[in-house]
């Protein structure tokens, strides 16, 4: 390559580089304080190049957070649609994938940002609810309804409030990002104990 000639970067790679830089900026500064020029500087490109791929900061953030849930919803959704495993096992899988793809990665900081800054940026929360939360709730509602029909739930009416399954996941995000340095939360134990509060033992007895 002749001196002074820049290496051509394919659009897909450039987009990936921008998202990687944005991830760092959002995690370090939060959504409100991050500027498009900050992302450009982190990626080593001109600010105009960022705008070629993302029209504004909200679109950039939405692209990041929408990718967080894809592995979880895709993996668990396929199992639920095929009805391959019992509902309790499928929800346990949901927790396991959530732990692997979110809690054990830096992605948890982006979800913390949605919780902390979402009320000030309704376009982001509306998108995340429409494209991620609503889809996840449909999967969880299906599982709880199946469990209720099979007599596996401690309270069959829980099938009407699938949001309850998300409770320990949300709590684990808050704990990991705010309080873990002061007191460890055993999320494996948390998820296992929570499943015991939802489901009857396999033999149908009480525990």
The answer, yes or no, to whether residue 67 has pLDDT greater than 80, is no
Cα distance between residue 186 and residue 195, in whole Å = 15
Question: With bands split at pLDDT 50, 70 and 90, how would you rate the model's confidence at 175?
Answer: very high
CATH class of this structure's domain 61-198: mainly alpha
* pLDDT, mean of residues 51-58: 93
Higher pLDDT pick, 200 / 11: 200
Identify whether the C-beta of residue 30 lies closer than 8 Å to the C-beta of residue 110: no
Question: Looking at the predicted structure, is the pLDDT value of residue 10 above 70?
Answer: yes
Q: What pLDDT sits at residue 79?
A: 83
Backbone dihedral angles phi then psi of residue 56, each to the nearest 5 degrees:
-160, 180
Percent of the chain beyond pLDDT 90?
A: 55
pLDDT value, residue 38 = 95
pLDDT at 110 over 50: yes
The count of other CB atoms within 10 Å of the CB of residue 100 is: 13
pLDDT score recorded for residue 127: 87
Q: What pLDDT is attached to residue 187?
A: 97
Q: What is the pLDDT of residue 6?
A: 52
pLDDT value for 204:
52
pLDDT per residue as tens digits for the range 69-105: 767 777 788 888 888 899 999 999 999 989 998 899 8
The fold of the 1-54 domain, in CATH, is Arc Repressor Mutant, subunit A (1.10.10)
On whether the CB atoms of residues 189 and 183 are closer than 8 A, the answer is no
Burial (0-12, 13-18, 19+ Cβ within 10 Å), 33: exposed
Distant-in-sequence, close-in-space partners of 55: CB < 8 Å, separation ≥ 6: none
3-state secondary structure of 155: coil
Q: CA distances (Å), 38 to each of 34, 65, 135, in order?
A: 6, 18, 33
Extents of the domains making up the chain? 1-54, 61-198
Instruction: Report the largest interatomic distance among the alpha carbons of the chain, rounded to a whole angstrom.
Output: 76
How many whole angstroms separate alpha carbon 123 and alpha carbon 135?
18
pLDDT surpasses 50 at 176: yes
Point out which residues pair with 199 in neighbouring strands: 153
Whether 165 has a pLDDT exceeding 50, the answer reads yes
């Amino acid at each position: 390559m002749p001196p002074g000639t820049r290496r051509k970067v394919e659009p897909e790679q450039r987009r990936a580089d921008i998202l990687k830089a944005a991830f760092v900026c959002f995690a370090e500064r939060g959504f409100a304080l991050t500027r498009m020029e900050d992302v450009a500087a982190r990626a080593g490109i001109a600010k105009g190049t960022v705008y070629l791929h993302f029209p504004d900061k909200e679109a950039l953030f939405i692209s990041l957070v929408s990718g967080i849930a894809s592995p979880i919803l895709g993996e668990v959704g396929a199992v639920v649609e095929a009805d391959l495993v019992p509902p309790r096992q499928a929800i346990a899988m949901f927790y396991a994938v959530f732990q692997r793809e979110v809690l054990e990665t830096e992605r948890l900081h982006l979800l913390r940002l949605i919780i902390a800054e979402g009320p000030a940026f309704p376009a982001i929360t509306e998108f995340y609810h429409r494209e991620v939360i609503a889809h996840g709730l449909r999967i969880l509602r299906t599982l709880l309804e199946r469990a209720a029909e099979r007599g596996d739930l401690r309270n069959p009416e829980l099938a009407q409030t699938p949001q309850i399954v998300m409770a320990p996941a949300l709590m684990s995000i808050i704990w990991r990002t705010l309080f873990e340095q002061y007191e460890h939360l055993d999320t494996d134990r948390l998820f296992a104990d929570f499943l015991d509060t939802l489901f009857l033992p396999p033999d149908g007895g009480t525990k």
